[in-house]
Structure 1
Amino acid sequence: MTTRARLLILLIAVLVLGGAATAVVLRAAGDSAQRAQTSAGDPPVRPGPVTLTPAGRQLAFRNLAMGPHQDEIAAVDADADHADAERTVGGVKCMRFYAAAGTGICLQAQHSALGDIYHAVILDRNLHELHRFPLAGVPSRARVSPSGHLAAWTVFVSGESYSGGGFSTRTSLVDTRTWKLTDTLETFSVVKDGHPHRSPDTNFWGVTFADDNRFYATLATGGQTYLAQGDLGARTLTTLHQNVECPSLSPDGTRIAYKKRVPGAAADTPWRLYVLDLATMTETATAETRPFDDQVMWADDTTLVYALPGSHGWDVWTAPADGTGTPRKLAEQAASPSYLG
């Protein structure tokens, strides 16, 4: 073998070994990055198809685990140990999310050098966009009617907290069959304590639907909050009970879970989780005694699901609706829960 041939073989060997070493380094770096994303007890996450009409019952929520899939809609088996279950993420990112009957609503933020732009996006069963609406402010609450035919959302037009008085909200409803939009509930007639009411300080937020016409929402005026029953066809809102915020109607239509301001609570989180019987207007304090600022979801007629601040953002918890039992964590690093299927 000539000297030139030997040198050529040596050069090829060096290049092959160098490439292999580089691949090993890059693979190790990738593995290290992946481990960093799922370190500190982060739940396992994998991309995959997410449908709002699964074959079995699933719990869907906004995934808050660190990494490239943060804020995406995730789903886990409803019967799994949600704290450890691998979550499937569907690629759609939301600030607030809710779904019912194969219709989803996703409140999104688009970041730019000129500032954030917000939209309400209506999703089909496969998380494909059907329609989007520009939002006048920062997303806060979102709901879909049991039939999937109506969706509602609330945004902060000014201020970013319900705890103080320096905020205003706008609540909108849309018919997902015709895309007819009710831009603000402030155009509805209000009956307060049995009398017509008009005031420039009136605010509405936190819609929950009974059907495709009747709904409930928070009405705030004169420094007080009220549970108001809405009639979409008549375009009216009638107050029913005082000191109710972010209502959520039980599946059987008999009770409202809500935030209630309680004496002696911290100024920034003055609420606790209560349930109101609509027939008797009897209030029941739940076993959840921690400061509370969310719109509850009912897993069934006896069980509440909600989000609370955790060590890495928010966690999803559950508690009985009748005031008994003990709160239990369902999923870490998660928010905006919905049951599917």
Structure 2
Amino acid sequence: MTALTQRTRIVLALAATAVLATVAVGYVRLAADRSPAAATTTTGDRVTLAPGPRLLVVSGRRLATVSRDDPSGPPAVAPLECVRVYAAAGTGICVRPDSPWSYHVAVLDRDLHEKRAFRVPGLPNRARVSASGRMVAWTTFVGGDSYTSSGFSTRTGILDTRTGTVAATLEKFTVTREGRPYRAADLNFWGVTFTADDNRFYATMSTAGHRYLVQGDFARRTVRTLKQNVECPSLSPDGTRIAFKEAIGSDPTRGWRLSVLDLTSMRVTPLAETRSVDDQAAWLDNTTVGYTVRDSSGDPDVWSVPADGSGTPRLLVPHAESPAALG
């Protein structure tokens, strides 16, 4: 009876994950339909990914930047359509649509020139660049995996822009779960965040109804689990903490609480944002995280909150999403 109960729990958890994936796919398309028109770049403005006191966002389906001193002011908008963006050290990633169901990952230089582009399967969900600008990662929702009732799962890839090495999916990495070698057909990964050495990274791994924070080694093609119920990790600039979304009661159907994990003590601190945050937060500095919240109509806004659990959420960039601090 105990074994049957465990199998039932796994099936139910996988079904819930499939439902959430389907909802997320619909949300991406809904957001695309409802995103407000992008503002026009004012005369003399030049959109650049060079380090500086600006935030990078998606505004009206366009890559845009805003001033850190006046983030709610008019954005400088580039004529570059993106559904997800991120940038660091003058290297950017733009996940751009070719059609409603076809996307490319474009790697950009500081002047938005395309250095490399390649097609990715499915609907884009996450994008990241390492602090040095060398490593680029992305996550998409895909279909066709037989182990889920809906056929939806994720694909997460990493590109080393210096060597050109691509890991098209983390599912081929060797996995150690709770100290033991582990293999399974239902492995899914999402939400990569890089450490300062451009080799190690953190991500979320799901299997058998559980979601884990994993630490990966790109060169060795390995990952190992660290902690359960940690999704969409984002490493702080000083490398000591991870901002993440924590499923309420370990149940994603109840929503997520934005939280911070101390990597030394493994202590979790819930942040002052009490709304459900289905996003990979971005550190704006060592004390503040930014993230996207959608209103009831599906329109996005970028908010920020202190990373120590104090304070209150602050509306940062209206009608925008996918924030990244450029400096």
TM-score (norm 2): 0.82
1:150-299 alignment, distance < 5 Å: 150-158=135-143, 167-211=152-196, 212-263=198-249, 267=253, 270-299=255-284
Alignment partner of 1:98 is 2:86: yes
Shift of 1:158: 2.3
Deviations 1:136-168 (A, max 9, x none): 111110000111011000111129xxxx98631
Q: 1:91 is matched by which residue type in structure 2?
A: P
Question: Structure 1: 5+ residue runs without aligned partners?
Answer: 1-40, 65-70
**CA RMSD of superposed structures (Å):** 2.1
Shift of 1:329: 0.3
Matched residue, 2:112: 127
Alignment partner of 1:60 is 2:56: yes
Following the alignment from structure 1 to structure 2, what is the Cα–Cα distance between the partners of residues 266 and 217? 17
Matched residue, 2:129: 144
Contact 2:38 2:59 in 1 (8 A): no
Contact 1:103 1:144 in 2 (8 A): yes
Change (3 A) 1:259 1:95: same
Change (3 A) 1:49 1:218: same
Following the alignment from structure 1 to structure 2, what is the Cα–Cα distance between the partners of residues 326 and 91? 34
Range that drifts further, 176-185 or 210-219: 176-185
Alignment partner of 1:78 is 2:68: yes
Following the alignment from structure 2 to structure 1, what is the Cα–Cα distance between the partners of residues 251 and 153? 23
Following the alignment from structure 1 to structure 2, what is the Cα–Cα distance between the partners of residues 204 and 52? 28
Find the residue that maps to 2:171 and give its secondary structure: helix
Matched residue, 1:49: 46
Q: 2:53 is matched by which residue type in structure 1?
A: R
TM-score (norm 1): 0.79
Following the alignment from structure 1 to structure 2, what is the Cα–Cα distance between the partners of residues 264 and 96? 27
Matched residue, 1:19: none
Deviations 1:290-323 (A, max 9, x none): 0110000001111110010036610000001111
Equivalenced residue count is 284
Identity %: 51
Q: 2:308 is matched by which residue type in structure 1?
A: D
Shift of 1:76: 1.4
Change (3 A) 1:165 1:328: farther
Matched residue, 2:300: 314
Change (3 A) 1:138 1:42: closer
Contact 2:157 2:170 in 1 (8 A): yes
Structure 1 residue ranges, 4+ long, deviating more than 6 angstroms after superposition: none
Q: 1:244 is matched by which residue type in structure 2?
A: V
Following the alignment from structure 1 to structure 2, what is the Cα–Cα distance between the partners of residues 178 and 122? 14
Following the alignment from structure 1 to structure 2, what is the Cα–Cα distance between the partners of residues 146 and 131? 19
Question: Structure 2: 5+ residue runs without aligned partners?
Answer: 1-35
Deviations 1:75-133 (A, max 9, x none): 111111x22x111111111010000010000111112xxx6321111001011111111
Find the residue that maps to 2:41 and give its secondary structure: strand
Shift of 1:278: 0.8
Q: 2:46 is matched by which residue type in structure 1?
A: P
Following the alignment from structure 1 to structure 2, what is the Cα–Cα distance between the partners of residues 228 and 208? 11
Q: 2:83 is matched by which residue type in structure 1?
A: M
Contact 1:43 1:86 in 2 (8 A): no
Shift of 1:340: 1.2
Alignment partner of 1:108 is 2:105: no
Change (3 A) 1:313 1:226: same
Matched residue, 2:27: none
Following the alignment from structure 1 to structure 2, what is the Cα–Cα distance between the partners of residues 100 and 108? 18
